[in-house]
A and B are shown apart, each in its own frame.
Chain A
Amino acid sequence: MMTTLIDPAARIGRNVRFGHAVRVYGNVEIGDDCQIGDFCVIGHPCTQPGASPLRLGAQANVRSHAVLYEGSDIGPRLETGHHVVIREGAQIGENLRIGNFSDIEGACVIGDFARLHGYAHVGRGARIGDFVFLYSLTTLMNDPLPPSHLAEPVTVGDMVTVCVNAQLMPGVEIGRGALIASGAVARGRIPAGVVVTGADGELAGPVRFVMHMASRTRHPWYKHFADAYPEHVRGRIEKLGAEIEAEAALAGTHE
């Protein structure tokens, strides 16, 4: 019969609930009020010795079969789907939501309130800002000559939206507030507040002109979607959105 195995060296906060057959290694600090689902592995050892602890912030909800490695620092209110993997060296802000089967390859930085839907792949070393959306099947690459020992991680600015099945090529730098359309391939340097479409990564207009024609709901999203976030953060969203609009206007999209 399988039982939950918790190393006595692990530091575990108050009111932490564990599901069936959870494995918690010793190099772990778990905050208060967390919920760890069935068959999760918390603090999986790295191949290199001497890793820092896995610090899992308070109020996390880690769903079944997730594997979180030691050596990462994860802010409060993490919410994972099932079968998520977060490798070592990830620095993650507040309230990351990450969908089923997504994979964060580690040594990366992810800001606050990032939203990764199912099957997102974040290549090692990526830099991801605050309030970023990565929809399903998005891939953030990092090897410019696969297979090789080279690494050119991607940079994704605050409030960027990467739509379904978009691909971010190694080394791409995506400016704040940009929208990478579904199926697009982004490479090089993408200015703030632009739309990128297609396999050739064409700059196809300003985000401020993207409008759902039937409902006339228009971007940038912070003007119609901030209510999806907790109330205490909406002022921050408004301020950041306005800053990004100003940046995009200053840069121009066609110069």
Chain B
Amino acid sequence: MKDRHKTMDRVAILAVMNSVLAKRGRAAISDEAQTTRAANFRSLDFSETALRIEMQIDRELAFDAASMRRIATVKDVIDFFETATRAP
């Protein structure tokens, strides 16, 4: 049976993001205040991060589309996934 209440903390989410970047041979994120562009975190990285998080929490992420469009920095990405993993 799937655990509907699995969540991930910020450290774990950042680790997933960095593992995606590492796979593509890019540097790890050093500062949450960086823009996604400065961090070299691209569109497909976002999608792959989402997939890996879904695999870890064993359910599909629920999210508000508008919040996704507000993302500008690494912090925004982590906030987005943190909120999405907590959603019922």
Contact = CB atoms under 8 A, between A and B. Distances in A.
Interface string B47-72: 11111001100001000010011110
Given A204-B48, A205-B44, A206-B47, A211 B54 contact: no
A239 interface: no
Given A197-B44, A209-B47, A213-B43, A218 B54 contact: no
Given A213-B37, A213-B71, A253 B43 contact: no
Contact of B44 (A195, A214, A252): A195
6 contacts: A195-B47, A203-B51, A205-B50, A209-B46, A209-B49, A212-B43
Contacts of B54: 206, 253-254
A197 B23 CA distance: 12
Interface residues on chain A, size class: 20 to 34
Interface in A212-238: 212-214, 216, 218
Interface string A237-254: 000000000000100111
Contacts of B18: none
Given A249-B60, A252-B60, A253-B54, A214 B47 contact: no
B69 A216 contact: yes
Given A218-B68, A218-B69, A254-B55, A213 B50 contact: no
B46 A213 contact: yes
B36 interface: yes
Contacts of B47: 195, 204-207, 209-211
A205 B44 CA distance: 8
A216 B55 contact: no
Contacts of A214: 37
A10 B60 CA distance: 57
A196 to B, nearest CB: 10
A43 to B, nearest CB: 44
Quick one: which of A195, A212, A249 has the most chain B CB within 10 A? Answer: A195
B51 A254 contact: yes
